[in-house]
Amino acid sequence: MDKRRISSTSASGSPKAVLFDAFGTLFDVHSVSLLAEQLYAGQGDALSRLWRDKQIEYTQLLTHEGGTHYQPFWAVTQAALRYAAAQLGLPLGETQERRLMNQYRALSAFPENREVLQALKAQGVVTGILSNGDPEMLAVAVRSAGLSTWLDHVISVDAVRRYKPHPEAYALGPKSTGMAARDILFVSGNSWDALGATWYGFNTLWVNRGDRPAEQIGPPPTRTGSSLRSVLTFFHSI
């Protein structure tokens, strides 16, 4: 599946840089459901999904407050887990919480990640992560997945204390790469993130792994694909 709209990149050539969201794009946030199911039989998937939903809700709430109440992504993730467990009526002792949070440090990477990153680097394309994750979380995740060699930048919104989709968060991409937004392809598995990046001025790819409906407000992403391999469709020489 590869749905397209007209973009500055398709008109003027391939992107000069590709920035990836991390959680839900390079790393499978629902891989924690396997451990959650071991701890809470029959509730693992529900816990994983509610945990993720609340995590995103908290980041947007904290950003809406102008950064005054900003908390690092690790703290947000922990708070979201506690909420999800309470909502589902699941006992969350110190041991369960520690195990689940440690699992979040080393989420499973999607299998095509390395192949795509290697192909981009072979063509001299600048690559990086632009994520809500705090620097320590991202460093551990990247190292655990063995992706360090293939990434030029690992950018955390912690630098501006604003979570995506705030424009200041996306502005870290051009600032870090030294490139204009129109020359950067931003890739996300989260539709709201792809929309925010499109509004900001990036060319965008929404990786719609679950065949979910598109957002019903705002413009569509530049392209939509079913896996990270759709990134390569932006490059005629790959």
- Catalytically active residues, by annotation: 21
DSSP-assigned letter for residue 222: S
With contact defined as beta carbons under 8 Å apart, do 126 and 16 qualify?
yes
Place of tokens 């451990």: 35
Those residues whose C-beta lies under 8 Å from the C-beta of residue 148, and which sit 6 or more positions away, are 142
Distance between CA atoms of residues 216 and 48, nearest Å:
25
Distance between CA atoms of residues 1 and 146, nearest Å:
28
Strand-pairing partners, residue 185, are 18, 203
With contact defined as beta carbons under 8 Å apart, do 170 and 19 qualify?
no
- Nearest in space to 115 (alpha carbons), one of 131, 127, 101, 97: 127
Neighbouring CB atoms inside 10 A of 49's CB total 15
Q: Which two tokens stand for residue 210?
A: 């679950």
Distance between CA atoms of residues 152 and 21, nearest Å:
14
User: Which residue type sits at 82?
Assistant: R
Q: Which two tokens stand for residue 198?
A: 């499109």
- Nearest in space to 235 (alpha carbons), one of 42, 17, 45: 17
